[in-house]
Amino acid sequence: MNYDVIVIGGGHAGIEASLAPARMGVKTLLVTILAEQIGASSCNPAIGGLAKGHLVKELDAIGGQMGLATDATGIQFRILNGSKGPAVRGSRAQIDMDRYRIYMKDVVLNTENLEVKQEIVEALIIEDGVVKGVETQLGNKYMAPKVIITAGTFLNGLIHIGEKQQSAGRQGEFASVELAEYLRTLGIEIGRLKTGTCARIDGKSIDFSVMEEQGGDEVPIPFSFRTDRKTFNPTQLPCHVTYTNETTHEIIESNFYRAPLFSGQIDGMGPRYCPSIEDKINRFRDRPRHQIFVEPQTLESNEFYINGMSTSLPTDVQLEMIHSVKGMENAKIVRYGYAIEYDYVQPTELKHTLETKKIEGLYCAGQVNGTTGYEEAAAQGLMAGINAALSIQGKEPLILGRDEAYIGVLIDDLVTKGTKEPYRMFTSRSEYRLLLREDNADVRLYKYGKELGLLDSDYLAKVEQKERDVNEAISYLRENYVTPTKEFIELLSTIGESKINDKICLLDLLGRSTMTQEKILTLVPEFAKYSDEVMEQLVIETKYSRYIEKQQKQVDKMKDMLKVKIPKNFEFEKVSGLSNEIVEKLNAINPPTLFNASEISGVTPAALEILHIYIKMAQKAR
């Protein structure tokens, strides 16, 4: 059977990787181990978080599905870091894991140009370094010039619970062993990573009355820009907070010898920023307690996820340590926590399109590229699917810059630097985070979704109107000034603002940190015609306008710098500040411009700045 794109794996990456090309009119096949598990959340029942929320907003702005699915199945919505600046705020939602999975499966099965097969891909069909299709355990061959691997933790997955080991991609599900072995034969660099998950507790056995309650926002904000905020009114359930104690720590410490993490049973490197409870106790023994979030997994609240207690300890130890925690003295474990090791493709093997360098037409996306998190996976899946479809259509690829999106930062970090531990997105990874905010992701990126045909006309009309309104309002504020007349000073006083002493541009006046939407409307009543979304954008844009301008100049400077040509026979080894590895790569490839140098794995923005300085110095010395 012939297709244009074949996607291997039905997780968060695989869903976006298959939906995008299908919606672009490309005949797509999704091959997954269990069809009913399409969209299953292997770990925590939540979408988003700090920086991760940015990724979801961005993929939604382009036309991805994760934001819409979250809004449809979310059971608590919160803005994290709400008291801090807009660049570092993050949307997070608890999801009903069962409903999320069913929602995503239904979307996939009802999408035109997309077929689903419940089989296990064991090998790729490759001729002369070009992918031609896949072969499954049933002996079926499916042909396509583009194949996207989104196998996640299933690629040679091995579960650890104490001394017990089980070959699986998720508890109770087959691992993809043969495909992992096949990839090694292609000469692609394969590594080994680990991650873990927490126990799930029967809700009836938890005493919530002794825990701290943590509710959602009173006015929940949806994840998707395509969800109507005026009618968005989800049922919100509380999470609860409790803590470990000295008894918990003693139980864990006395069983370190039975922990696969310390016994040598696990080889893979785990996520530094999401350690297991045994790793926390080992590294931070001086802390008297660690925070535990008790999170509902479904609207019915029948199972709770014990966030903060990821573990691979034996079952008897898991039960003992959970019983030592306040409110869980009588807890009954429905599913035990476990660690999982899996193979991953070193992402330096990939181009920025996420196509492998060694095999034409073969793409990788998600945890198979060494990342951790649903959001990082989905973002990669979307971009791999888009680029596979664009290649089929004979069009230029879509590569988002670091100045355009966190998705661009994510992919650029992976393919240029690689990773030896599960990569997680943080706002600190972006040099331009003031430009790449959650609130403006729609305006930043909708043009790509429009060009690709991934956004409907009604939504496009809405976001285009928002963009026009924001630009119109900002232009008005730049062009108009106010003076310290008696009437205007009195007006400022009525809204609790200090007086002005000189003529001032409205943009600078409204940029005061104390300004709110209500105050702006009092000072500029003609802005009442704008929607709440536009006004929210204006509050941010005015407050940070000068900083945004400065950062935009840095972006423009970087773009100009990347156009700089590198002189022939340039002696990279004489450039102070470059590592031996970077010098070796530059000499081997001899890039003609700084942009070409930026495409080389391991060449950082800092290295490019240094190169630029030396090139300019060499030109002046002539």
Asked whether residue 289 falls in the same domain as residue 424, the answer is: no
Is residue 128 domain-shared with residue 186, that is, in the same domain?
Answer: yes
User: How far apart are alpha carbons 156 and 13 in whole angstroms?
Assistant: 18
Which CATH number goes with the domain that contains 280?
2.40.30.260
> Of 286, 320, 340, which residue constitutes the final position of a domain?
340
Range list of β-strands (E), 444-503: 481-482
Which residues lie closer than 8 Å to 392 by C-beta, 6 or more apart? 4, 5, 21, 26, 145, 146
DSSP 232-279: -------EEEEE--HHHHHHHHTTGGG-HHHHT---SBPPTTS--HHH
Say yes or no: 267 and 392 in one domain: no
The encoded tokens of residue 389 equal 């479809």
Spatial separation of the C-alpha atoms in residues 605 and 622, rounded to whole Å: 26
HSE-CB of 154 using CA atoms within 13 angstroms: 28
Do residues 330 and 350 share a domain?
A: no
- Residues 35, 163, single domain; the answer is yes
278 lies in some domain: yes
- What CATH number should be reported for the domain holding residue 576? 1.10.150.570
Residue 458 lies in a domain: no
For residue 365, being part of any structural domain is answered with: yes
Rounded-to-integer distance, Cα 429 and Cα 319, Å: 38
The answer as to whether 557 is a domain residue is no
Q: Do 41 and 132 sit in the same domain of this protein?
A: yes
For residue 285, being part of any structural domain is answered with yes
Claim to verify: residue 508 and residue 527 sit in the same structural domain? yes
Task: Report yes or no on 554 lying in a domain.
Answer: no
Instruction: Output the pLDDT for position 273.
Output: 67
335 and 346: one domain? Answer: no
Axis crossing angle, helix 441-452 with helix 457-479, rounded to the nearest 10: 140
Domain of residue 302, residue span:
200-340
Q: Do 329 and 441 fall within a single domain? A: no
Q: For residue 622, what pLDDT is reported?
A: 64
Same structural domain, 336 and 349: no
Q: pLDDT under 50 in the chain at which residues? A: none
The domain tally of the chain equals 4
- pTM, rounded to two decimals: 0.91
Does a structural domain hold residue 579?
yes
- Domain boundary (452, 471, 500) is at 452
Residue 399 and residue 537 in one domain: no
Provide the total of helices (H) and of strands (E) in the chain, helices listed first: 21, 23
Per-residue model confidence as pLDDT tens digits over 257-275: 998 878 888 877 777 767 8
Residue that is last in its domain, among 498, 523, 549: 549
Give the CATH number, domain containing residue 524.
1.10.10.1800
Could you tell me the CATH number of the domain that includes residue 346? 3.50.50.60
* pLDDT above 70 as % of the chain: 100
How far is residue 147's CA from residue 59's CA, in Å, rounded to a whole number? 21
Decide if 284 is inside a domain.
yes
| Domain shared by 347 and 381, yes or no | yes
